[in-house]
Structure 1
Amino acid sequence: MPALNPAARLYSQARRNLLPRHESLVAVAGRWQHEHLARLGVRPEVTLRCGADPYVGALDISEKTLARIHPGLSAPALLSVVRLPRWTPADVFRPEARLVLVADGIEYAGNLGTLVRTADAAGADGLVLTNATCRLTHPKVFEASRGTVLTTPVLTYDTVADARRDLSGAGFTAYVADPAAAHSYLDVDYRHRKVALVVGSEGDGVAAEWRTPDLTRVSIPMRGLADSLNVAASASVLLFDARARLG
């Protein structure tokens, strides 16, 4: 089997999430995704096309190559590799920032992408990740976020302690979502505060470092038989409520 050209090989590696984390490269495919990139003025690292309409800067590939680098996708097809922005604490913890979502222990790309999209929709100032096993560069994160992973500031911390230090230093009060908490989120008074809402994985919830006595734990009352919500659904409830009350 002939070797892939460098651009096709880069796309194949990005699609399979095999590139080093520090590269911050994500594979995107489809007409809508490329129209979104154009609206944002984002220039891909490489763009490939197979039987698609002309696209500025795109390299032509054969259907055989398309089948190798993206099994299941058929022509016409547009494929690109995009570099995600690099965000700093200063981008998220700005003096005027008032609402941040913290997600701990997120394992699934679909959930992570939906959390990014939810943070964007609720007007949160950013997303903080701790103990994340899923990469932001997973193609499903881009899809589930509807491209907002390119515009929503996301910080990834190696330890919960580092995240808590920066949140506290920026004046944020953390509220930890816990189905077993005695206090409903509706009873919390967010006025005059900078709010960080912490959600955890569906299996284990948040890590022990987020369960310390100095942090307020809140629950979302369950009216049916289910004892909890999907992490993205929980984040939506908490974020939109907090945004409405913070103004």
Structure 2
Amino acid sequence: MASFPAEPLTSGNTRVKEARKLARRASRTETRRFLADGPKAVEGALTVEGCVIEIFATPAATEQYAALAATAAGLPDVPWTLVDDRALASLSDAVTPAGVIAVCRFIDRPLDHVLSPVDRPAPRLVVICSDVRDPGNAGTVIRTADAAGADAVILAGDAVDLYNPKTVRASVGSVFHLPVAIERDPLAAVRASQAAGLGVLAADMDGRTLFEADDLLAAPTAWLLGNEAWGIPAELRDAADEVVSIPIFGQAESLNLATAAAVFLYASARAQR
């Protein structure tokens, strides 16, 4: 249902002010709402029933993304509200805002629903991100997991906020495409994955190399990724079924977390297909 005021709303409008509060994690947690910034994020959010509460867009973006506005107009109770450029900029942390932002309800799922779903087949490829702190890395891992055909992502431990605007934006809409669970205890995530029939492979530097692990990769797998700085704690390594590493043939010390995740996930995708 389109909602076009005579004049676009300004940054002083009450609804814009309330949405702007969602830049703070405390406000997101209290209201269980977050912002999806950009056309890809909004498009993804619109595919999740009941997710989108309101869309703010500039007149220029409304014209540019007319198909997106038409999609929103075809859904019940999803107002597309015009705002001026300053109001939109106040909602976005992007250097160059795309002109369209959605206010959304939280979409994470309980761990047991992700690992033992009743509405789809049992998962064969899952990613556990333990204490991953960088929102760009977390969002890119979610995007990569989506591209590789993974069934779910678990953000475990003291991980970055799934609803951080940078995480959502880095996922380029993928946060809306596959289930994501949040689990405070990384060991519980590992144990629950094993109980669901997944072999947990800890991605670390000194394990069996990926090139020697085809027998492991073809089986249902949960990749365990550690913190960008200190990796996987010994307790979690010991709890995993195997430790698997990416061989380094040049002089680089290691790979970026998101890059390593892509290598591991696509190795699994190849083996499982």
Structure 1 length-normalised TM: 0.85
Change (3 A) 1:34 1:155: closer
Q: Which residue of 2 aligns with 1:240?
A: 266
After superposition, what is the alpha-carbon deviation per residue over 1:6-30, rounded to whole angstroms, capped at 9, x for unaligned?
4212321223444243644221233
Q: Which residue of 2 aligns with 1:92?
A: 115
Contact 2:203 2:223 in 1 (8 A): yes
Task: Give the secondary-structure state (helix, strand or coil) at the position aligned to 2:163.
Answer: coil
Q: Which residue of 2 aligns with 1:125?
A: 151
**Cα distance, 1:123 vs structure 2:** 0.9
Contact 1:176 1:198 in 2 (8 A): yes
What letter matches 1:185 in structure 2? L
Contact 1:112 1:141 in 2 (8 A): yes
Contact 1:160 1:209 in 2 (8 A): no
**Is residue 22 of structure 2 the alignment partner of residue 14 of structure 1?**
yes
| Alignment RMSD (CA, Å) | 2.8
Moved more, 206-215 or 151-160: 206-215
Distance 2:94 2:136 in 1: 19
Distance 2:134 2:34 in 1: 16
Distance 2:148 2:87 in 1: 41
Change (3 A) 1:115 1:51: same
**Is residue 101 of structure 2 the alignment partner of residue 79 of structure 1?**
yes
- Greater share of residues in helix: 2
**Cα distance, 1:32 vs structure 2:** 4.2
Change (3 A) 1:58 1:168: same
Change (3 A) 1:11 1:100: same
Change (3 A) 1:31 1:195: closer
Change (3 A) 1:217 1:76: closer
**Cα distance, 1:41 vs structure 2:** 6.2
Q: Which residue of 2 aligns with 1:215?
A: 241
**Is residue 35 of structure 2 the alignment partner of residue 27 of structure 1?**
yes
Distance 2:97 2:154 in 1: 38
Change (3 A) 1:120 1:173: same
Task: Give the secondary-structure state (helix, strand or coil) at the position aligned to 2:238.
Answer: coil
Distance 2:86 2:176 in 1: 31
Question: Aligned pairs, how many?
Answer: 245
Q: Which residue of 1 aligns with 2:139?
A: 113
Give aligned-pair identity as a percent: 26
**Cα distance, 1:64 vs structure 2:** 4.4
Q: Which residue of 1 aligns with 2:191?
A: 165
Q: Which residue of 1 aligns with 2:223?
A: 197
Contact 1:50 1:76 in 2 (8 A): no
Contact 1:84 1:150 in 2 (8 A): no
Contact 1:107 1:201 in 2 (8 A): yes
Distance 2:31 2:178 in 1: 18
Listed as ranges, the gaps of 5+ residues in structure 1 are none
After superposition, what is the alpha-carbon deviation per residue over 1:89-134, rounded to whole angstroms, capped at 9, x for unaligned?
2233345321111111111111000010111111111112212331
Distance 1:213 1:37 in 2: 36
After superposition, what is the alpha-carbon deviation per residue over 1:61-91, rounded to whole angstroms, capped at 9, x for unaligned?
3444345444777798222211232313223
Contact 1:51 1:76 in 2 (8 A): no
What letter matches 1:82 in structure 2? C
Moved more, 229-238 or 10-19: 10-19
Contact 2:133 2:228 in 1 (8 A): no
Matching residue within 66, 69, 83 for 1:61:
83
Structure 2 length-normalised TM: 0.78
Q: Which residue of 2 aligns with 1:48?
A: 56
What letter matches 2:115 in structure 1? V
Distance 1:172 1:198 in 2: 11
